[in-house]
Structure 1
Amino acid sequence: MRKAVGLFSGGLDSTLAALLVARQGIKVVGVHFLSPFWKKSTHVLKNALKFGFEVLEVELPEEYLEMLRDPVYGYGKNCNPCIDCKIFMLREARKIMEKVGASFVFTGEVVGQRPKSQLFWSLRVIERDSGLEGLLLRPLSAKLLPPTIPEREGLVDREKLLDIYGRSRKVQFKLAEEWGVEDFSSPAGGCLLTDAVFCARLRRLMQEKIFFSFQDVELLKLGRHFAMSDTFRLVVGRNQKENQRIMSFYEEGDFLFLPRGSKGPVGLGRGKPKSGDVQQAAALVARYCDQKGKALRVNVLSDEGEFSLLVSALSDELIAPYRI
């Protein structure tokens, strides 16, 4: 049976694209990429079960982070490298296409729907740089684009594809109603790389570390973040659940700040502290403890063992310059 590999985000467009392909008698193998930068979609598996698609959940390799540091086509408003991200995922999809014996790859992209990554020129660049020239089908806008190899060879009937253009989703909503597509995620948001606060933390991490991991990215999603100096960061938990998670990230070279005699957060220091950084970090952690207006003892765990500091909590005014 003929096969095609499609990128499944959990959104309406990717689901409709899969149905357009499947309704031509082609077996759909969906690929749902997993990453710390976006949540796993529950809609993908629901629609796969409903419409009979095969779905592969694939963890993005950490090489993705090297692309993120220096994307060829730059960032959007924050740290979202939309064009380079799509190229990266399609390169991975091409490998899966070859592995499962599929004939082509498809996506739910719509010409003109997004201002940078879905213009005619960027769609062409994405196809070329992903190594899928002629083998990348966009069923929702196919009639606006040059025919692909599967269309030219009769594997796909071009007349049964669509010519959707722009940001309006009236056509998609109408098709969803006709075809019974009820589970899909919102087209807006969802990717942390578009979030200004998260990206401020991420930029700091990329400046500090030659290489960083997905574990580092997970830490960025927790707590309050502070730059005690240009070489030393502090993460402070906001609740018990975050405190427990932050403690699980403690590793060689880190500093763990644990208040004594008062309910309060855990702090994790990472990097190379300069003179006074550890003392200031302990005082900052004390700011978020229940005990107010009194000197507080904070235990510090590091590679050199455990020691205790007696500190006075920093005021909000003194904390402000450190906040990321």
Structure 2
Amino acid sequence: MSADWLIFRGTGEPHDGIARLPAPPPWREFAGGPAGEFDRVDESSHGQRRNALATTYQADPGTVELVNTALYLRRPLLVTGEPGVGKSTLAYAVAHELRLGAVLRWPITSRSTLRDGLYRYDAIGRIEDASSAAAIGADLGRYLRLGALGTALAPYRIPRVLLIDEIDKSDFDFPNDLLNIFEEGDYEIPELARIADTTPEVWLAPADLGPKVLVKGGHVACRAFPLVIMTSNQEREFPSAFLRRCVRLDLPSPDHARLGAIVRAHLGDAQANASEDLIATFLDRRKTGEMATDQLLNAVYLVSRAAGENRGARQHLADLILRQLNSSD
């Protein structure tokens, strides 16, 4: 099959391919407004580490195809796999290559709620200001801030990237709570809807460092549906109603060739060529226990800096790092 349809190519080289993304299916069209602005090449809030991971990410052909499927269909991408296979880093790699700006990250815990992702309201701060001079001329927007999900659904002209990290840590009802948001692409902020008659327009700060978002009538609706990447460590099952609204990607554990490519991308050819013994050790231990790819990278770096060609020292240092994650030994 021709690769001409691919918007995200997995090369790590930034480009403007997002402009070639076709119009969405009729059932996934959104017309929120007014259109928001943001500097889509601003990745400053990623930090140097995240940017480095994004540029060295090794996406296999299957991953590339499923990312593009999610882009075309405007559907969330549910990424499952063992810890350390690059589930979260995929979001940064896509945002970097397609110049979609800083990733909006929402880490999930057992206490996370839908409202946490949409917006935060500082009711206590407003009450404290009510009897002070600070309340004079103050608008409600001072006490509201959009969350990561709420910001992603703002009416930007091109899609933002939203990382919902470790969704399997959420409570039982959380995936179902997301369904309506994913289908409709909009939400209401009741605190603003109540004052819409007297204050129809309010500017709210987004979750990142971008420009404020104009909210009219307490209602936020997306224009370009965000690329939502949800990660799961396969610690639970999800409802079928939730799964059918997602594009599903199962990231396999990398084989010998891919591990070599990952080491090469992060540490260079010399390190990759000298790490065959460490890769073999890593793969051998992964047969009987849980291992993460970043353990191998740490081991290769440590051994190359501290052990040289001393075989005994190499093995000793590797043993310090390459321990099975599900073992207490």
Q: Shared fold by TM > 0.5?
A: no
TM bracket, shorter-chain basis: under 0.3
TM-score by length of 1: 0.25
Q: Which one has the largest radius of gyration?
A: 1
Task: Give the structure with the larger strand fraction.
Answer: 1
Higher relative contact order (CA 8 A, sep 6+): 2
